[in-house]
Amino acid sequence: MADRGEPNHIAITITSFIEEIPDPRIDRSRLHSLSDIILLTLIALLGGADNWVLIEQYGKANEDWLRQFLRLPNGIPSHDTLGRVFRLLDPHELGSRLAAWLDAIREDRAAGHIAIDGKTLRRTMERAEGKSPLHVLNAWATESRLCLGTVSVEEGENEISTMPKLLGLVDLQGQTVTIDAIGCQRELARAVTSGGGHYLLRVKGNQPTLEAEMTSFFESSEADGFANETWYAFEETDGEHGRIEVRRTWSTDELGWFEGHGAWSGLRSLVVQRCSRSLPGEASQTLRVFISSLPAEEVERLARLARGHWAVENQLHWVLDMVFDEDQSRARKDNAPLNLAVLRRLALGLLKRNKSRKVGIAGKRMIAAWDRGYLTELLGGG
């Protein structure tokens, strides 16, 4: 076992980032170090504990082993202490330091895809105080399967006004950001490109004129057999259990007809995707339009990004509810729900990154609870 005065080197990388977080407590109340409290919570989340009481019990059951990673001068903090500290802790400080660590361990930095989407934590509402449930925005790196940032949408704000805060947590250099229709805003396009990134933004109800003009332009070109404008095309088909889905994507850099194109920072292409789905006795078709700062000739990449955006729902939001029981979390007070949400996303990312166990996320959490070698592997960055 490592010397109890110094944590094991495996955890040093994340510890060095966590130790930069300001401690909100007064000196005389600091029986447990802030880094110990944060790392204990992360380790317990990896091992299957989902609330303060279980985190305390996990710590007590594994105290000797945890001293490889934590100093614990006064033993394991109580569940009341855990809840109180996370209520006080600044979520921006926690999120920004963890985002910096995750950015340091990513492998997909060259041309990564970051999908941004919102999620409501339904049980965090306080009816007696008239408090709405916590709604957060997440930045999900689809290739490395890491949540690079999480911010809350405060009372009186909305997703649009909150997104710049989230973008500010993430190193956007060389990354492509995708956002659903609500994020099709000139200010957000400017924020992405000024950070050195690219964007693919869905055009829908919040830009009705642009959507109608793009649809009309595409349908007119299609009716003429694309004889008058240059369109790049890509098609892919998949299906199972009798379902067949065909996705056809077209992109063009013909922007002359679009009077307002100069107001969109870095705009280089218009993208149209037609999805045709057929089941026995049933067929449907949808047309989606996007704008992008990527060149039109990269139509295959644009098609993959448009489809890949929804990984944030399938790989992040759904798993948080099914495996981490996030929608049932009772942490409600002050900053506690957001801080716990940030650590859940970190735990999920570390579990998803690890490929040494060929089981699902729930299975990996069980293995982490049983196998300390595997848990140590996860703490090293997944």
How does pLDDT run across 154-163, given as a tens digit for each residue? 887 888 999 9
| Residues forming a β-bridge with 355 | none
In a domain, 83, yes or no: yes
The bridge status of strand 176-179 relative to strand 146-152 is unpaired
The answer to whether 357 and 364 are in contact (CB under 8 A) is: yes
Give the mean pLDDT of the chain. Answer: 88
Mean pLDDT over residues 194-214, rounded?
Answer: 91
Mean pLDDT over residues 352-367, rounded?
Answer: 91
pLDDT of res. 110: 67
In a domain, 272, yes or no: no
Instruction: Indicate whether 382 pLDDT > 60.
Output: no
In a domain, 79, yes or no: yes
Mean pLDDT over residues 325-353, rounded?
Answer: 88
What is the number of domains present in the chain?
Answer: 1
Mean pLDDT over residues 297-317, rounded?
Answer: 93
**Cα 176 from Cα 117, distance rounded (Å):** 14
Mean pLDDT over residues 118-123, rounded?
Answer: 84
**Cα 191 from Cα 213, distance rounded (Å):** 25
pLDDT of res. 1: 37
In a domain, 356, yes or no: yes
In a domain, 342, yes or no: yes
The interaxial angle of helices 361-370 and 372-379, nearest 10 deg, is: 120
pLDDT of res. 13: 75
What digits encode the pLDDT tens for the residues 128-178? 566 678 899 999 999 888 899 999 998 878 889 999 999 998 889 999 999
Instruction: Indicate whether 307 pLDDT > 60.
Output: yes
**Cα 151 from Cα 287, distance rounded (Å):** 31
Instruction: Indicate whether 272 pLDDT > 70.
Output: yes
At 184 the three-state DSSP class reads: coil
For the chain, the farthest-separated pair of C-alpha atoms sits apart, in whole angstroms, at 77
Mean pLDDT over residues 346-367, rounded?
Answer: 92
The bridge status of strand 113-121 relative to strand 176-179 is parallel
Other C-beta atoms lying within 10 Å of the C-beta of residue 38: 27
What residues make up the domain containing 354? 9-103+331-379
Instruction: Indicate whether 325 pLDDT > 90.
Output: no
Mean pLDDT over residues 187-198, rounded?
Answer: 96
What digits encode the pLDDT tens for the residues 31-58? 899 999 999 999 999 999 999 999 999 9
Closest C-alpha among 86, 42, 59 to residue 335: 86
Most confident of 5-14, 234-243, 281-290: 281-290
pLDDT of res. 83: 94
* Alpha carbon distance, N-terminus to C-terminus of the chain: 22
**pLDDT category of residue 107 using cuts at 50, 70 and 90:** low
**Cα 8 from Cα 1, distance rounded (Å):** 9
In a domain, 369, yes or no: yes
**pLDDT category of residue 60 using cuts at 50, 70 and 90:** very high
pLDDT of res. 128: 58
In a domain, 24, yes or no: yes
pLDDT of res. 32: 93
pLDDT of res. 278: 78
The answer to whether 154 and 136 are in contact (CB under 8 A) is: no
Higher pLDDT, 193 or 328: 193
**Cα 181 from Cα 309, distance rounded (Å):** 12
pLDDT of res. 5: 45
**Cα 305 from Cα 300, distance rounded (Å):** 9
pLDDT of res. 3: 42
**pLDDT category of residue 283 using cuts at 50, 70 and 90:** confident
In a domain, 350, yes or no: yes
pLDDT of res. 109: 64
Higher pLDDT, 182 or 281: 182
Opening angle at CA 270, ends 268 and 272, nearest 5: 155
Closest C-alpha among 329, 313, 91, 289 to residue 200: 289
pLDDT of res. 10: 47
Instruction: Indicate whether 322 pLDDT > 80.
Output: yes
